[in-house]
Amino acid sequence: MSSEAFVTLATNDGYALGALVVAQSLRKVGTQRQLVVMISRNISNIIRQTLETSFDEIVVVEELNSHDEEHLRLLSRPELGVTFTKINCWLLEKYSKCVFLDADVVVLQNIDDLFEREEISAAPDAGWPDCFNSGVFVYKPSKETFTKLLQFANQQDASFDGGDQGLLNAFFSNWRSADISRHLPFTYNVTSNTFYSYVPAVTQFRNDIRVVHFAGALKPWQLTYNPQNEQLSGNLGGQQTIQREFLLAWWKIMYERVWPQLSKHNQNQLHGGFTGSLLNYGSLTNEQGVQAGSAAHRRAWESGHVDYHGRDSFTNIQEQLQKNLGQQQQPYHPSQQRQVTPPKSTPASANTTQQQQQPTGETTSSNTGASGVLKTTTTTTVETQEKK
């Protein structure tokens, strides 16, 4: 079992918060498998440190190299960038079998039985159920498969939806008709659009739901959570009651299991305390930025697009914090640093000591494949001492 792992992917801070909830929700339901997160280099330090305490392994995925003709040809189709990032999961050959989970899911019940399934096992997509949804799938890491996927992706129109789901469905094209055992129950990947389209079924099978997938435009980390009354606020218009409850489930894990660690790293870096009450993207990432708080800026935060080197640089945040310390607490506004307190379950002493990291190795693998389309470097950076 130690050679089996859950794998997720975070390409910005928003999804990284999601990845933290994925990890903690898996630990909460008692998984016996390793937890791996693939990240791109733009994840902020505070979040990366927290990822290191939550996951057993972090794999840094390099950006596409644009220095040769083949790469440029690929880069003329920028939408495939994220696709290529995701299929890097096939390079994790130290694991005999893996389950990939998108970072916008929350695990409600143990799903370790998924490792009894074979590649590729996935649940039907509620939009077009002859396709599987690529938010949850069982696979076998293999450089050979990775190379074939790259070659396949290099064909024109390889992905009918411009993303990894279209690509993987085209590659594993016999999923629909070959083997019923590779059809995961829908309860292992209940996408949020379902909450609107067939409410009686959601109600009927609700207790069977193991994984909820916030696949729509609204991500849980775009909301604000009040732990005092356990209420959510934000862009909740039109959300069904049942979806609100799942969003709340996500936030409870965030508040009880993720936020204490985030807060700890915040304090270590900022040498200050947080004594507010509401949690939102800004309070969690400490990346609210300092300029204006324009609507565009807020949207950028909410989708996890943070300008680390300019508008949202760490120096600027520190300056803004100094200013905010003299202000009264006000209703949330993007330009204002929200103050938060750790939940009561967090030992106070944990707030002052940074977790020690123990780098255990760095491996680099490059792939040029038959098509020679891409060099991909994976870097195993740390294994944390803390295993929960």
Close Cβ partners of 196 (under 8 Å, ≥ 6 residues apart): 240
First to last CA, the chain: 16
Of the pair 57, 104, the CB lying nearest its own copies is at: 104
Nearer to its own copies, 176 or 311 (CB): 176
> Closest by alpha carbon to 254, among 221, 232, 222, 231?
221
- The least distance separating its own copies from the CB of residue 360, rounded to whole angstroms, comes to 41
Site of tokens 């700890």: 264
CB of 193 to its own copies, least distance (A): 5
Q: Which is nearer to its own copies, 23 or 190 (CB)?
A: 190
Query: Considering the complex, what minimum distance in angstroms separates the CB of residue 215 from its own copies?
Result: 10
The β-bridge partners of 191 are 213
3-class DSSP assignment, residue 285: helix
| Cβ neighbours for 337, distance < 8 A, ≥ 6 positions apart | 282, 283, 288, 317, 320, 321, 324
Indicate the helix (H) or strand (E) that contains 73: helix 69-75
Nearer to its own copies, 58 or 80 (CB): 80
d(CA 285, CA 266): 8
Cβ distance to its own copies smaller for residue 80 or 253: 80
Q: How far is the CB of 134 from its own copies (least distance, A)?
A: 12
CB of 179 to its own copies, least distance (A): 7
Which residue, 166 or 260, has its beta carbon nearer to its own copies?
166
CB of 79 to its own copies, least distance (A): 11
CB atoms within 10 A of CB 359: 10
User: CB 190 → its own copies: shortest distance, Å?
Assistant: 9
Q: How far is Cα 324 from Cα 335, in angstroms, rounded to an integer?
A: 10
How many Cβ atoms from other residues are within 10 Å of residue 237's Cβ? 6
Nearer to its own copies, 122 or 254 (CB): 122
Tokens of 60: 């840094």
Give contact residues for its own copies (rule: CB under 8 A): 123-131, 160-162, 166, 176-180, 183, 185-187, 193-194, 197-198, 200-205
